[in-house]
Amino acid sequence: MIESWRWYGPFDKIRLSEIAQTGASGIVTALHEIPYGEIWPLDTIRNRQAEIDNAGLGLHWNVVESLPIHENIKRGTGDLERLFSNYRQSMANLAEAGIHTICYNFMPLIDWTRTRLDAPVKRGGSSLRFDAPQMAAFELFMLRRQEAEADYPEEVRRAAANWFQSSDETARTTLLKSIMSGLPGAFDRYDIDGLRSALKNYEGIDQDELRGNYARFLSEIIPAADDLGMRFCVHPDDPPRDILGLPRIVSDADDIGWIMDQQKSLANGLTLCSGSLGANPANDVPAIARRFADRIHFAHLRNVAKEPDGSFEEAPHLEGDTDMVSLAAALVAEERRREAEGRADWRIPWRPDHGHELLNDAERANHPGYPLIGRMRGLAELRGVMAALGHEKVSYV
């Protein structure tokens, strides 16, 4: 498997020379500075590629994460033909540069949601956390979304009321900042009124309509991906549940099966994110990996520890609720199958997704969830698992 590392380019506090020292060889990045819906120019792609290649560190840009989808495509509004045309041209420019794997998501408005970015963990360090009562407090008492009451059980609503009544303005501001950290793109952030306004754009759009808009996107994009020899891989919802009144449609095995059926092409694939899928108590992540193994083109490997009220915390990579050895075995077994089949692209790129802030990570002000030392620990642990599986040369699945 190809050990890879997410890098935010000029916006990243972590340098390529430091990434090289982790042992990773693949760079997962994007042109975050280009507005959504605009074409990624070939010369801009090549310049970013040259920055990585010419560092002389044995690194290469192997996965795009992500080529973002404009909100109008998700809503099914506006000049869609132009947006689809621009998207296909960006794909063609990436393929011309030799980059053929694109991770993307179809989450409305917000890419991922956490309520705390620095939850303390035992033995030191901090992690990202989704606290269901705090999320409910945000929706019920700060955002004042009327329909939110139906989205949370009574015990969570009671805990939310208790949290809100005991919180001060600093705690509420910190909660808003944490939730806004999941907005896509570099830098748009909302206050409460701004978020209410943004959410209005999705009023009346339910799961069926969002699915219809997604199916149209796939019908416009996957044939072009086939022609270009590209691999598209959708990232699951994070968390895998409706939130802020926004429907989510990539949350479990049934959702993934629906997506794969829309375009029965190898180009229409999956980013296997064990952390996102693992936050849904109904998901058996290794089983999902085995079921969709032939359509997995990229993997995010991390772990979560779930709680009965719907809260979860990001756990060390080999701890938490997902059996990471079984999951890694499923991926290694699929690689062996592809290699035996004679596929040139038989190796699956993966990256250690997120990580605890450890030692002096907190001093660097990295992107939330993307510290240097915490991810390097996860990379090293998972590297050991995969080395053992490869050494044994047996299936394990």
Where is 35: in which H helix or E strand?
A: none
Cβ distance 114 to 275 under 8 Å? no
Q: Give the bridge partners for 220, in sequence order.
A: none
Q: How far apart are CA 195 and CA 143, in angstroms?
A: 8
Give 10-residue mean pLDDT values along the chain (397 residues): 95 96 97 95 98 96 96 96 98 98 95 95 95 97 94 97 97 95 68 92 94 98 98 96 93 98 97 97 97 98 97 96 97 96 95 96 92 97 94 50
Cβ distance 57 to 16 under 8 Å? yes
The reported pLDDT for the residue numbered 182 is 79
The reported pLDDT for the residue numbered 190 is 86
The reported pLDDT for the residue numbered 396 is 37
Read off the amino acid at residue 223: P
Where is 321: in which H helix or E strand?
A: none
Residue numbers annotated as active site: 235, 273, 300, 353-354, 370
Task: Give 279-315 as a DSSP string.
Answer: TSTT--HHHHHHHTGGGEEEEEE-EEEE-TTS-EEEE
The packing angle between helices 207-228 and 80-96, to 10°, is 40
Where is 334: in which H helix or E strand?
A: helix 324-341
Q: How far apart are CA 197 and CA 209, in angstroms?
A: 20
Where is 71: in which H helix or E strand?
A: helix 71-75
Residue listed under structure tokens 């997995």: 296
The reported pLDDT for the residue numbered 189 is 73
The reported pLDDT for the residue numbered 221 is 98
Q: How far apart are CA 299 and CA 274, in angstroms?
A: 8
Q: What's the CA dihedral at 288, 293, 297, 299 to 10 degrees?
A: 40
The reported pLDDT for the residue numbered 390 is 82
The reported pLDDT for the residue numbered 210 is 97
Domains of the chain, with CATH numbers?
Answer: 2-111+205-306+316-392 (3.20.20.150), 116-200 (no CATH)
Q: If we measure between CA atoms, which residue out of 291, 317, 287 comes closest to residue 382?
A: 317
